[in-house]
């Protein structure tokens, strides 16, 4: 029963992003200039609110606040190195990071602390960034376990921030 819901959810995410790309784009490019701040959402596992700050060309900081109120809440942050894919409006990024949060298992809440990474592809259309990423994570507390997550998302870049 879970598989049909998953297909409907992904279709509900991909179709609006596709429409945004087709109708809302004038120019697409692979990198943002330094000093830009983007805020948006990420759908997937985990899903939540995403923020990205460019400090210099090819380098950015990314943060994600993710939650499922019955199971977990966590914050993650990554330092990203970005490069363009030659002859393409796409770029790719990767970088190390950390994660901290609270996870509920067996009606008990645990503090979770770990290291993580990110690898993704993205492109920019005017003031929007569309991205798809994978996030491997290795928990150090309360025990050592590995997880792989990721998602698809969109961020809007403000001119004033």
CATH number where 90 lies: 2.40.160.20
Provide, rounded to the nearest whole percent, the portion of the chain with pLDDT above 90.
54
**CA-based nearest residue to 50, from 132, 116, 123:** 132
Per-residue DSSP letter, 77: E
State residue 22's pLDDT score: 45
**What are 46-65's pLDDT values in tens digits?**
889 999 998 888 899 999 99
Residue 5's pLDDT band, with cuts at 50, 70 and 90, is very low
State residue 50's pLDDT score: 96
State residue 9's pLDDT score: 53
85 lies in which domain range?
2-158
Q: How far apart are CA 101 and CA 112, in angstroms?
A: 5
Kindly report the pTM of this predicted structure: 0.75
Contact (CB, 8 A) for 50 and 64: yes
Q: Is the pLDDT of residue 68 over 70?
A: yes
Number of domain units in the chain: 1
Beta carbons within 10 angstroms of residue 71's beta carbon: 10
Q: How far apart are CA 86 and CA 103, in angstroms?
A: 41
**CA-based nearest residue to 89, from 51, 121, 133:** 121
**What are 80-119's pLDDT values in tens digits?**
999 999 998 999 999 999 999 998 877 788 899 999 999 9
């Amino acid at each position: 029963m879970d598989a049909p819901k998953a297909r409907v959810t992904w279709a509900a995410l991909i179709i609006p992003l596709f429409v945004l790309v087709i109708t809302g784009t004038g120019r697409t490019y692979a990198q943002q200039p330094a000093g830009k701040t983007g805020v948006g959402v990420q759908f997937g596992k985990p899903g939540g609110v995403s923020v990205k700050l460019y400090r210099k060309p090819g380098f950015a900081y990314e943060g994600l606040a993710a939650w499922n109120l019955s199971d977990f809440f966590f914050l993650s942050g990554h330092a990203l190195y970005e490069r363009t894919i030659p002859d393409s409006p796409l770029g790719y990024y990767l970088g190390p990071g950390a994660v901290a949060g609270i996870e509920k298992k067996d009606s008990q809440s645990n503090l979770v602390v770990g290291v993580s990474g990110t690898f993704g592809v993205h492109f920019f259309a005017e003031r929007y960034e569309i991205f798809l990423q994978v996030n491997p994570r290795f928990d150090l507390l309360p025990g050592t376990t590995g997880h792989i997550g990721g998602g698809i998302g969109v961020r809007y870049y403000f001119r004033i921030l």
